Chains A and B, each alone.
Chain A
Amino acid sequence: MKLNLYEDKNNIDEHVDIYFSNMRPVIRRIVDTVNSDRPVLSGRPADEDLDDGEEIILSPEEIYYLDYVDRKLFAYTQNGVYRLMNTLSSCEEMLWNYGFIRVSKSNLINIYKIKLLKPDMNMKVFAAFDNGERICINRSYKKSFNEYLQRMRRMG
């Protein structure tokens, strides 16, 4: 994508024009950034020893997957695990354009962070991440997962 930046010290009407062929996720992300609608998740370290009471801002790009356990939502990143105050369905809606797709009742995964997709001998399909974690892709979500990948490829 070509990027033109024009600096004018006297400009009092700053604006952004976007020329695009179709509204694909990357364009949607730019629009979100310009509108300040870019999803930002805030969480606190899940490990109580590391929790100093301050919330940490998480960017969608750094999250590997979200896990909903015991009515609590956790975000897994390279640096650690954070507890979020959002619901899984709100995150699903919010992060759709950022590569996140639901793969089970309790998991939302970031497809940009998947290192390998592989079935085991029991025919369960697992998504392996850089951090060594694995998440099972439930059979019920297989179709929507595949449709999402096809869509992301077409739109990408």
Chain B
Amino acid sequence: MVKKLKDFLIQLGCVYTIVSVTGAIANVIGGTQTNNFNVFLMFATCAIATFVLNLHNMFDSVSPLVMIILQYLIACVLCAIMIFVISIIYEPISLRGVFEYYRSFTIPYIILAGYYYYSVFSETKKQDILIKEIQENKQKEF
């Protein structure tokens, strides 16, 4: 349990660093600024994403496509809870704000899911070639 928590924190640290540095670069290029609230929101979103992606072991019995959809739905529910809490303790978030938030969350998710989809096909093709090569090597040896 402690090891899992340690691994989770390391992954979260890496994910947050990548996301915040990318955000900082985008701010520099676009000439925009961020505020403390956005930094916290970004961190909470990274924590949810890392947590949800860590659940992949629970979905071993289902296909990767179903796993991706389930993970997305879980992430959506957790984000909705987070937005609800923020609305209560900080300030109410408009419907437009909620939509923008989900959009900025969904687009990278779809891109990464697409990349995963491609990588499964590409990796399998490479493995198939490797198997043929191993089979040919065995035939040559005898």
Question: CB within 8 Å of B: which residues of A?
Answer: 1, 26, 99, 111-112, 114, 116-125, 138-140, 145-146, 149-150, 152-153, 156
Q: Which of B117, B131, B137 contacts A114 (CB 8 A)?
A: B131
Residues on B with beta carbons closer than 8 Å to the beta carbon of A125? 120, 124
What's the Cα separation between A146 and B126 when bound, in Å?
A: 10
Query: With A26-B141, A123-B117 given, is the CB distance from A153 to B130 under 8 Å?
Result: yes
Question: CB within 8 Å of A: which residues of B?
Answer: 56-57, 60, 63-66, 116-117, 120-121, 123-124, 127-128, 130-131, 133-135, 137-138, 141
Query: With A26-B141, A121-B65 given, is the CB distance from A111 to B121 under 8 Å?
Result: no
Check if B124 sits within 8 Å of A149, measured CB to CB: no
Check if A116 sits within 8 Å of B128, measured CB to CB: yes
Check if A122 sits within 8 Å of B64, measured CB to CB: yes
* 8 closest A-B pairs by CB: A122-B63, A123-B64, A156-B137, A117-B128, A122-B65, A149-B130, A124-B63, A123-B120
Q: Is the interface of A mostly helix, strand, loop or mixed?
A: mixed
Check if B60 sits within 8 Å of A112, measured CB to CB: no
A-B contact pairs, 25 of them (CB 8 A): A1-B141, A26-B141, A99-B138, A111-B134, A112-B134, A114-B131, A117-B128, A118-B128, A122-B63, A122-B64, A122-B65, A123-B116, A123-B117, A123-B120, A124-B63, A124-B64, A125-B120, A145-B127, A146-B123, A146-B127, A149-B130, A149-B131, A153-B130, A153-B133, A156-B137
Minimal Cβ-Cβ distance residue in B for A121: B65
What's the Cα separation between A139 and B59 when bound, in Å?
A: 10
**What is the distance, in angstroms, from A58's C-beta to the closest C-beta of chain B?**
19
What's the Cα separation between A152 and B133 when bound, in Å?
A: 10
Residues on B with beta carbons closer than 8 Å to the beta carbon of A140? 57, 60
**What is the distance, in angstroms, from B88's C-beta to the closest C-beta of chain A?**
39
Residues on A with beta carbons closer than 8 Å to the beta carbon of B124? 117-119, 125
Minimal Cβ-Cβ distance residue in B for A141: B60
Q: Is the interface of B mostly helix, strand, loop or mixed?
A: helix
**What is the distance, in angstroms, from A140's C-beta to the closest C-beta of chain B?**
6
Q: Which of B120, B123, B134 contacts A156 (CB 8 A)?
A: B134
Check if A156 sits within 8 Å of B65, measured CB to CB: no
What's the Cα separation between A40 and B31 when bound, in Å?
A: 71
Check if A149 sits within 8 Å of B134, measured CB to CB: yes
**What is the distance, in angstroms, from B30's C-beta to the closest C-beta of chain A?**
35
Residues on A with beta carbons closer than 8 Å to the beta carbon of B121? 119
Residues on B with beta carbons closer than 8 Å to the beta carbon of A99? 134, 138
**What is the distance, in angstroms, from A8's C-beta to the closest C-beta of chain B?**
25
Residues on B with beta carbons closer than 8 Å to the beta carbon of A117? 124, 127-128, 131
Residues on B with beta carbons closer than 8 Å to the beta carbon of A138? 60
Check if A156 sits within 8 Å of B138, measured CB to CB: yes
